[in-house]
Structure 1
Amino acid sequence: MDDDSPYSRWEQRTEIPLFLASLLFLAAYAARVLAVSMPSFWEDVCGYALIALWLLFAVDFVVRWRLVGGRFLHFARTHFLHTVVVVLPLLRPLRIVPLYDVIQRRQGEPRLSLHARVIAYASLSTLLLGFSGALAVFQAERGAPGATMRTFGDALWWAAATLSTVGYGDITPVTTRGRAIATGMMAGGLALLGAVTGSFSSWLLQIFSRESDTKPPQS
């Protein structure tokens, strides 16, 4: 999409507000999961907020589809990330990369190198994915028969071990939903780890190549 298209203008206007809305969605979900003694009034407020924010994300998805045009299924396939974050709103904060692109269009050229940006985005995405996954798995595992994940601290430890591909095995999901979430986190962890290590390796290769090019020829 070119910068003057209706789609690009819509993205520039809505990406930052929607990112803030996604953080609010995450906060409301975290409150419902972690605040077990929350008064029923505030529990209802969080529930209505989750529904309203999800509807906001769905409206954004439909508007983007109408701006692009074409068949709905084709749009859903070609804009896979948008489709995923509508189905799984907890993953919407992972759209940090398009958010940065929108900010840079307003402020000029990026200040960080490409490799630094990839590492920064992947690191932030890992933190957001880990926290969201820990919340979802903890909700699924809490009170399940034979569950080894008894506290949210256990869930955070499990998420860190899963995303880092260490997998100690001291805490494992026992429910079907918990294992499904774990599978997605494993795939996400591998992808993010590959992005960081690949970018760092490429940066090192460029440094070493530059140093070898600047050395004077030996007589």
Structure 2
Amino acid sequence: MKQLPAQTRWERRTQWPLLALAVAFALAYTVPVVHPGAGTGVQDVCVGVEWVVWGAFACDYLVRLALSGQRLAFVRTHWLDLLAVVLPLIQPLRLLRVVSTLALVGRRARMAPQIQLTVYVGGAVVGLLMFGSLAVLEVERGAPAGNIKTLGDAVWWSFTTMTTVGYGDHAPTTGLGRLIAVGLMLSGIALLGVVTANIAAWFISRFERDGEEERRQTALLEALTQEVRSLRGQVAALAGASKCACEQGTRGAPLA
């Protein structure tokens, strides 16, 4: 049995632990936003969990870089991972940790061969809706002219933004909030394109399978037709030979 590369073995072993850390990150990010009046200790714990999770993904990137064997090629092909690791160090904003962790989770999920595209797209939609709602609520809740003050308003805004409907009843007023809106719009368009392409590919493959089955049945019918024709020829030849034998026997028989 062929042994898998060290990088592949590492990615398979760390897939579920990193997914559990991503869930912990989601909870740590959600609590202070949904309950802004939580105590200082709770907020410090949540911030610490966020940094620990980001650090785990950063270490994962460094380990995969070391195991790749071709570090320059790995950096070129995983430059989004590198940006997600470096950005929070350049400017340690809470929102950057959210973006970087989402990017790293998404990259690692796409590497997992057992995760189907539909499951990935569904998880991406839920994750973007949740984090987009929380991020815009955190940014817009304290804005003087902001109209996104509750979690319900933020979730409704995220739905209308990702689907590019844009009713306009809720809209961000700060620069960072509008930047989040642009990200959600682009993500919604991209995910819609992925879903549409997946559905189209399913229909095409289904039609190809139906066409292949129809061609197989047609070929089988043609083979059966040829076999029937061959059998008819053999039967006719046997009948002719039998008739000739009977006629010769009749001619050669002595008269009574």
Do they superpose with TM above 0.5?
Answer: yes
Unaligned runs of 5+ in 2: 88-99, 219-256
The equivalences for 1:29-178 within 5 A come to: 29-70=29-70, 75-83=74-82, 85-86=84-85, 87=87, 88-95=100-107, 97-98=109-110, 100-101=112-113, 104=114, 117-178=116-177
- Normalising by structure 1, we get a TM-score of 0.80
Partner of 2:203: 204
Partners of 2:15 and 2:108 within 8 A in 1: no
Greater RCO, 1 or 2 (C-alpha within 8 Å, sep 6+): 1
Partner amino acid, structure 2, of 1:11: E
Larger Rg: 2
Distance 1:5 1:96, change over 3 A: closer
Distance 1:190 1:208 in 2: 27
Q: Deviations 1:145-171 (Å, cap 9, x if unpaired)? A: 211211111111111111112222221
RMSD (Å) for aligned C-alpha atoms? 2.6
Q: Deviations 1:87-140 (Å, cap 9, x if unpaired)? A: 411444434743642xx4xxxxx8xxxxxx323321221111111111111111
Distance 2:54 2:153 in 1: 28
Partner of 2:191: 192
Distance 1:185 1:121, change over 3 A: same
Distance 1:95 1:79, change over 3 A: closer
DSSP 3-state at the match of 2:193: helix
Distance 1:98 1:63 in 2: 18
Deviation at 1:192, TM superposition (A): 0.8
Partners of 1:165 and 1:189 within 8 A in 2: yes
The count of corresponding residues between Structure 1 and Structure 2 is 202
| Worse overlay, 121-130 or 203-212 | 203-212
